[in-house]
Amino acid sequence: LRHLLTTEGLPRDVLLHILDTAQGFVSFGDREVKKVPLLRGKSVFNLFFENSTRTRTTFEIAAQRLSADVFNLDIQRSSTSKGESLLDTIANLEAMDADIFVVRHAQSGAPYLIAQHVPPHVHVVNAGDGRHAHPTQGLLDMTTIRHYKPDFSALTVAIVGDIVHSRVARSAIHALTTLGVPEVRAVGPKTLVPGDMRPMGVRVCHDIREGLQGADVVMMLRLQNERMSGGLLPSASEFHMMYGLTPERLALAKPDAIVMHPGPINRGVEIDSSVADGAQSVILPQVRFGIAVRMAVLSIIANANA
Ligand code: CP
């Protein structure tokens, strides 16, 4: 694996190799993962052209735990504001001996463009491009699910909310179907869920009750207002009334169902505080698993040329 740009088409054995590698980096309870020298001498450049709390920080922690040198380009203060092109920025950072670029960009495809132009020893990880893909989020979601529900072949997963604008949903769906999850549901209003998702192996439910019934995993998504352009979209209060995850609605899922959310959460819109902070929520463990998964991805791609 030279670059990680998407979970779509990622072979099952590669996907499982990443999850297994991440397992070795998980720090939980009294288990502490010490710093390891796998990326010593390598330079990781975080290029976040869109805002981030979880992804940028956990990539930085992951790279530091692998002993890499980490550089966070401050995009607001960079020469991007003077009109420097994306590829010229990359070429200049390459001249500073960059080995890995971690890229988030509002334009779908931006990490692909970079990957096409970097020399063979340089690697690119997509940290979220437009509405297209967020592969490390998909992989940390799979790590989280496997931790709590080890048998993918027996699961019903309900993904609820703004699916049409969600790179998180797309990356999760590709990974879930590759791992053999038999029932993946996309739950939301017609304006926020693509009409026919059968080619992706997904059942569409516009009725929240039908969507949550008997689910093992409930993955909530926020309204991606920054990617919406008017139309018949629900307001926050309408969305909460129709699709918000309340304790009463969660009771339709299996009693031991887990509740996931990639963050940031909007309390009282797609999820009630009592659910987000409740016993079935694994939202903060997802964040923690993100470090292990990003350590796995960085170490695997960095050794691709070894
Ligand atoms: N899940 C996620 O991508 O969060 P951030 O936008 O904070 O990185």
Domain count within the chain = 2
**244 and 291 together in one domain:** no
Q: Is residue 1 one of the residues assigned to a domain?
A: no
Measured in Å, residue 280 CA sits from the centre of ligand 1 at 21
Q: Quick one: 153 and 271 in the same domain?
A: yes
Per-residue pLDDT of the chain (306 residues; tens, 9 = 90+): 999 999 999 999 999 999 999 999 987 665 667 799 999 999 999 999 999 999 999 999 999 999 999 999 989 889 998 999 999 999 999 999 999 999 999 999 999 999 999 999 999 999 999 999 999 999 999 999 999 999 999 999 999 999 999 999 999 999 999 999 999 999 999 999 988 898 888 999 999 999 999 999 999 999 987 777 766 678 899 999 999 999 999 999 999 999 999 999 999 999 999 999 999 999 999 999 999 999 999 999 998 755
Quick one: pLDDT at residue 305? 58
Annotated binding site for L-aspartate: 82, 167, 222
Q: How far is the CA of 52 from the centre of ligand 1 (A)?
A: 5
Confidence at residue 29, expressed as pLDDT on a 0 to 100 scale: 65
Can you give the pLDDT at residue 226?
78
Which of the listed residues 46, 51, 54 should we mutate to test ligand 1's pocket, taking the one with most ligand atoms within 8 A of CB?
54
43 inside domain = yes
Domain membership flag for residue 4 = no
Do the domain assignments include residue 7?
Answer: no
Q: Are residues 83 and 159 in the same domain?
A: no
- Rounded-to-integer distance, Cα 212 and Cα 254, Å: 9
- One domain for residues 122 and 209: no
CA of 56 to the centre of ligand 1 (A): 8
Whether 255 and 298 share a structural domain: no
CATH of residue 224's domain is 3.40.50.1370
Q: Is residue 2 part of a domain?
A: no
Domain membership of residue 5 (yes or no) is no
Q: Characterize 270-294 residue by residue with b for buried, 16 or more Cβ atoms within 10 angstroms of its Cβ, and e for exposed.
A: bbbeebbeeebbbbebbbbbbbbbb
Closest C-alpha to ligand 1, atom 3: 55
Q: Is the peptide bond before 264 cis (omega within 30 degrees of 0)?
A: yes
pLDDT at 231: 63
Do 56 and 167 belong together in one domain? Answer: no
**d(Cα 93, Cα 193) in Å, to the nearest integer?**
39
Q: pTM value? A: 0.95
Same domain, residue pair 90 and 223? no
pLDDT for res 87: 97
CB contact at 8 A, 35 and 295: no
pLDDT at 225: 79
Residues 6+ apart with CB under 8 A from 35: 64, 65, 66, 67
Q: Are residues 210 and 279 in the same domain?
A: yes
Nearest CA to ligand 1 atom 4: 54
196 with 63, same domain: the answer is no
Q: Does the predicted interface ipTM exceed a cut of 0.95?
A: yes
At residue 109, the pLDDT reads 97
Residues 106 and 164 in one domain: no
- 229: buried, middle or exposed (CB in 10 Å: 19+, 13-18, 0-12)? exposed
Ligand 1 pocket, Cβ-based, cut-off 6 angstroms:
52-55, 128, 137, 262-264
- Rounded to the nearest angstrom, the distance between the alpha carbon of 259 and the centre of ligand 1 is 17
**Atom of ligand 1 lying closest to residue 262 CA:** 1
Q: Which of 39, 34, 62, 20 is nearest to 287 (CA)?
A: 62
In a domain, 202, yes or no: yes
- Domain containing residue 291: 12-133+287-302
Alpha carbon distances (Å) from 3 to 44, 101, 144: 13, 10, 23
Domain assignment of residue 219, yes or no: yes
pLDDT at 170: 97
Whether residues 128 and 141 share a domain: the answer is no
Check whether residue 121 and residue 220 sit in a common domain: no
